[in-house]
Amino acid sequence: MEFSIYRFNPDTDSAPYMQSFTLPDDQIEPGMMLLDALLLLKTKDDSLGFRRSCQHGVCGSDGMNVNGTNGLACIMPLANLKAPVVLRPFPGMPVIRDLIVDMDNFYRQYREAEPWLINDSPEPEVERLQTPEDRDRLDGLYECILCGCCSASCPSYWWNPDRFLGPAALLQAARFIEDSRDQATEHRLERLDDAYRLYRCHGIMNCTQVCPKGLNPSKAISDIRRTMIKRSV
């Protein structure tokens, strides 16, 4: 199977280039994932750079652009990929080396969303109660693994990385706005009510299409807008 992989090492390369790799067919086993293939290619060239850890789609380390679409290498079956498989780092994020990108801005936006539960009433000795229905409203929001696939596929994020929060951070904002235990809804909505932070989203839906966890940031964003409008009338 043929691969074409984006290579760039700032220590030695003046410009990025695409490099061809071949994985012999006898090394390919049924059920193999793209990450397994990358790990094999790395045994031949130990300078090939990519992040990875859990190997089953929960840690969010190995997001990359595969044949034009962002995804996690560890849960992409090789059998579903068209060869030559073209691998690039996330678009719209600065490249550190090969498939490794600098995610500082992505994490900064995450922090901007103030992704922590705020509840300043006295702490009970036991758990705060939450009905199963209220808890259900967090499904589809809390499972985000911060892989960055969504934000790195969002055109609004590419153009305004400094001011638009991007789908991942906005999904976090929604997760806390929806949480019946959180008392800072007003404050959260006020912070988002800005021409850029929230309103740069044009509903292009790339984010929802690529999310490897099947989450729907686009819907979360429109839900926040709806809540905002409801509050203002």
Confirm or reject binding of residue 64 to ligand SF4 (CB under 6 A): no
Among 8, 57, 110, 215, binds ligand FES (CB under 6 A): 57
Confirm or reject binding of residue 129 to other proteins (CB under 8 A): yes
Span interacting with other proteins, options 18-26, 128-136, 154-162, 203-211, rule CB under 8 A? 128-136
Q: What is the DSSP letter of 124?
A: P
Element (H, E) at 3: strand 2-7
- What is the C-alpha to C-alpha distance for residues 39 and 59, in angstroms, rounded to an integer? 17
Confirm or reject binding of residue 33 to ligand SF4 (CB under 6 A): no
Q: Which two tokens stand for residue 35?
A: 């990450």
| Residue 130 interacting entry, from ligand FES, ligand SF4, other proteins, none, C-beta within 5 to 8 Å by type | other proteins
Q: Which of residues 52-81 bind other proteins (CB under 8 A)?
A: 52-61, 75, 77
- What is the C-alpha to C-alpha distance for residues 188 and 191, in angstroms, rounded to an integer? 5
Among 7, 42, 191, 219, binds other proteins (CB under 8 A): 42
Taking each helix axis from N to C terminus, what angle separates 217-232 and 185-192, rounded to the nearest 10 degrees?
100
Q: Which two tokens stand for residue 36?
A: 């397994």
Cβ atoms of residues 217 and 211 within 8 Å = yes
From first CA to last CA, the distance across the chain in angstroms is 59
| Residue 202 interacting entry, from ligand FES, ligand SF4, other proteins, none, C-beta within 5 to 8 Å by type | ligand SF4
Question: Which residues in this chain contact ligand SF4 in the complex, by CB under 6 A?
Answer: 144-150, 154, 156-157, 167-168, 171, 201-207, 211, 213, 215, 217-218, 221
